[in-house]
Amino acid sequence: MSEASVMTEGSSAHHAAEGGPKSKMALWWFLASEVMVFGGFLAAYILFREAAHGAWNELAEHLSVPLATFNTLLLLTSSLTIVKALDAAKAGRHIAARNNLAITILLGIGFLVVKGIEYSTEISHGFTPLAGMFWSFYYTLTGLHGLHVIVGIVINLSMLVSIMRKGERFKAGNRVEAAGLYWHFVDVVWVFLFPLLYLSH
């Protein structure tokens, strides 16, 4: 393990010469601001739900825990595949990088499809964004997260195209790392949205 970390430190020092950490730092600052963007929405939701004294609990029971659990599984797995893509790209194994990136994109699309199924079921039962405060928060929070998933898919697609074009000449620059960090962040947000919306009764 210590051997591995020495290697990583070595490679990050190498990146420093190329200005790597600069873009990584920028990405971390961006994620820090994203915490506060989601934080504002989450704080409002948590506090109003508390203020409702349990009145939202029965509304939350209309959400599908099995579908959301499956979706959580998809996002967690996509975090694994994108980190493997980054590893492969760094090691110059562009085929493995391409495959793992493609799986990551498919898992992201799968997440959106399942979310779409959930939305349409809920809306067909009359639970529209205008059906009350809980539903309004539910669509805002999952919608904002869904937009982030879409942005992540677009970023990953642009990288996939670049790997497929360049093949062996593809350099695992800071772009792959930044895209990975963003995708993991979107995963972390869902890790908290899942219990906040689906599991709290």
Partner 1 sequence: MAHKAGMAYVAVWAWLVILLFVSVAAVYLPFGSTITTALIFLVATVKAVLIGTYFMHLREESRLVRSLAIIPVILFLIMLVSLIPDIVVNTGVHNASAVSH
Closest distance between partner 1 and the C-beta of residue 153, in Å?
Answer: 18
Q: Does residue 32 belong to the site contacting partner 1 (CB under 8 A)?
A: yes
The whole-angstrom separation of Cα 34 and Cα 72 is 20
The whole-angstrom separation of Cα 139 and Cα 121 is 13
The whole-angstrom separation of Cα 84 and Cα 102 is 12
Q: Does residue 24 belong to the site contacting partner 1 (CB under 8 A)?
A: yes
Contact predicate 45/52, CB 8 Å = no
The whole-angstrom separation of Cα 33 and Cα 30 is 5
Closest distance between partner 1 and the C-beta of residue 47, in Å?
Answer: 4
Q: Which range of residues in 115-123, 129-137, 138-146, 154-162 is near partner 1 by CB under 8 A?
A: 129-137
- Out of 91, 117, 151, 164, the only residue in the binding site for partner 1 (CB under 8 A) is 91
With a CB cutoff of 8 Å and minimum separation 6, the contacts of 86 are 97, 172, 176, 177, 180
- Out of 2, 3, 17, 168, the only residue in the binding site for partner 1 (CB under 8 A) is 3
Q: Does residue 142 belong to the site contacting partner 1 (CB under 8 A)?
A: no
Which C-beta is closer to partner 1: that of 91 or that of 161? 91
Q: Does residue 187 belong to the site contacting partner 1 (CB under 8 A)?
A: yes
Contact predicate 182/152, CB 8 Å = yes
- Out of 18, 22, 28, 147, the only residue in the binding site for partner 1 (CB under 8 A) is 28
The whole-angstrom separation of Cα 146 and Cα 195 is 17
| Phi, psi angle pair for 12, to nearest 5° | -75, -30
Nearest to 195 by CA among 43, 77, 60, 75: 60
> Which x/- pattern, by CB under 8 A, does the window 43-82 give for partner 1?
xx-xxx-xxxx-x---x-----x---x--xx--xx-xx--
| Residues engaged in binding partner 1 (CB under 8 A) | 3-5, 7-9, 12, 24-25, 28-29, 31-33, 35-36, 39-40, 42-44, 46-48, 50-53, 55, 59, 65, 69, 72-73, 76-77, 79-80, 83-84, 87-88, 91, 132-134, 180-181, 184-185, 187-188, 191-192, 194-195, 199-201
